[in-house]
Amino acid sequence: MRNLTGATIVALASSCVASSGYLKLDLHRRAPISNKLARRQNSDGSVDAVLSNNQELEYLVNITVGTPAQKLSVTLDTGSSDLWIPASSAPLCKKNQCDFGSFDPSKSSTYQVVEQDGFNITYAAPGDTDAGDWGSDTITIDGSSPIDSQQIGVASALFDQHGVMGVGFDTNEANNDGPGGVYQSVMDNLVSSKIIERKAFSLYLNDRDANSGSIILGGIDTTKYTGDLVALPLQPSDSGAVMEYYVSLTGVSFTDAAGKTTQISPDGYSQATLLDSGTTNTLLTNDVFTPLALGFGTTLDPQGSGNYILPCSVGNGNGTINYSFGGEGGVTIQVPVAAIVGGQAYTSDEYDDPAGGCALSMGTPMESGGFSILGDSFLRSAYAVFDLENQVAALAQADENQASTSNIVVIPTGTAIPSATNTATATGTQLTALESETAIPEASVSGSSLILAGTPTFNLGLSSSTATAGSGSGSSSSGAANYAAVPTAALLGLGVAAGLMGL
């Protein structure tokens, strides 16, 4: 999640190995809330566009807070920098909706108030604010040795159902302009508590079908990637300072099922793009997003939700989106087409594709308020190392499903990233203005109210039986549901607690 005031990963971590110099957290995916597209329903019954945060996957880590230790799970987030937890006094927790635990400061002998009502973090999704007190207490992260006096947000006014552990730069903490200023973040304290040697970590989300990924604080697992790990200088935020994980995206192309490559990005493309595990989708500038989305047969949801829908069958196709970073001497990460096909939004009775209509796991910076973001739909294909001390991120192609092997090297104090073979230098510029709407057409609807699928123009190698049924046919033997009459809540699998939608 990107914390707006200054700027999020969510699977379940099950075990950890505390060892000298690094801390490995195994991440397991939390089951999707629903296989339908999550949309926010307003009180008047209208539905807002899906925001990119956390709609499908959650990568959680177990922590303890206080003395005696109270257990909670929090979202691990590269896009923000604070550790905050729900207060058990929060109305949402009192209604038993804080499913990953809450914290009662009055039951901890080591808790201290730092600033009453001083904590307030706002993420990119509208209304996504969590607020309360700043406090400090002893914490442990997935069985680590204790970190004393860690500053934490204790939120009693909750939008999100569980807390967040941000692993970004301390200069990007919430409320830095308040009396407390910059405080020692969890990343800072992991080093000062000698749990890790350098303020750096690596991230391996693994593919969507695998149930486990990992984050290694202070270390790199050299078995989890192929090719070279290439170091990329982090790019400055709007403020001119490096305070988030922006890297320079210098080219995007599509290689089809027959191996033919089409350049998608314009010549000279160089875009500062945020590596953000807390965002589900990948948000690309219009000039790259539009030709890619149209190539996959994407249309706009005719229900006016603002969501991009594509034929679910695309997920069975072959081809990769190749993302190049750092220009000359840089690195290219290949993302298979299946990775950009999100949850099913419409069944095959409602949408003219044998597999139904799915959410596209891509979008534009309109969804983030103006930031180009490489979210989970990109990050699952990459192995990423983040070095806060030297302001570098190193990327390599993830070697998926290597969960059982392991060769962890400690990232020592110093500047070099162990096993990185190369350093790229190209810079990337920030977006200067929010771009206007894309040229993605609204899906048409046939007389029987069946939503007609868009037609992919990319060669995905799909045979005609698995390809889209073809827009324009307008008929379906299976008896199209009258989509206009389908109650929205049922269609979208709503009916879960409002707080869940809020993520």
Ligand X SMILES: *[C@@H]1O[C@H](CO)[C@@H](O)[C@H](O)[C@H]1NC(C)=O
Binding site for ligand X (CB under 6 A): 12-14, 60-62, 73, 120, 122, 129, 131, 157, 255, 257, 316-318, 320, 322, 332, 334, 461-462
The residues pairing with 86 across neighbouring beta strands, listed in sequence order, are 155
Smallest distance, ligand X to C-beta of residue 168, A: 19
Please, which residue, 257 or 409, has the CB nearer to ligand X?
257
Please, which residue, 60 or 494, has the CB nearer to ligand X?
60
* Active-site residue identified among 82, 188, 221, 276: 276
User: Is 77 an active-site residue?
Assistant: yes
Smallest distance, ligand X to C-beta of residue 381, A: 11
Report the phi/psi class of residue 324: left, alpha or beta, with left for phi > 0 and alpha for psi in -120 to 50. beta
Please, which residue, 48 or 228, has the CB nearer to ligand X?
228
Per-residue CA distances from 121 to 85, 148, 160, 238 (Å): 12, 23, 11, 19
Q: Which residue is nearest to ligand X (CB)?
A: 461
Residue 333: alpha-carbon gap to chain centroid? 17
* Active-site residue identified among 77, 137, 170, 352: 77
Smallest distance, ligand X to C-beta of residue 318, A: 4
- Say how far apart CA 420 and CA 234 lie, in whole Å: 15
Cβ partners under 8 Å of residue 484, min gap 6 = 449
- Say how far apart CA 333 and CA 314 lie, in whole Å: 20
Cβ partners under 8 Å of residue 268, min gap 6 = none
Task: Determine how many CB atoms are found less than 10 A away from the CB of residue 46.
Answer: 12
Please, which residue, 320 or 471, has the CB nearer to ligand X?
320
Smallest distance, ligand X to C-beta of residue 492, A: 27
Please, which residue, 301 or 353, has the CB nearer to ligand X?
353
Q: Let me know: does 305 contact 47? Beta carbons within 8 Å.
A: yes
Smallest distance, ligand X to C-beta of residue 257, A: 5
- Say how far apart CA 238 and CA 235 lie, in whole Å: 10
Please, which residue, 73 or 430, has the CB nearer to ligand X?
73
Smallest distance, ligand X to C-beta of residue 62, A: 4
Cβ partners under 8 Å of residue 350, min gap 6 = 356, 357, 450, 451, 480, 481, 483, 486, 491
Cβ partners under 8 Å of residue 254, min gap 6 = 261, 262, 264, 292, 295, 319, 320, 321, 322, 458
**Active site members:** 77, 276
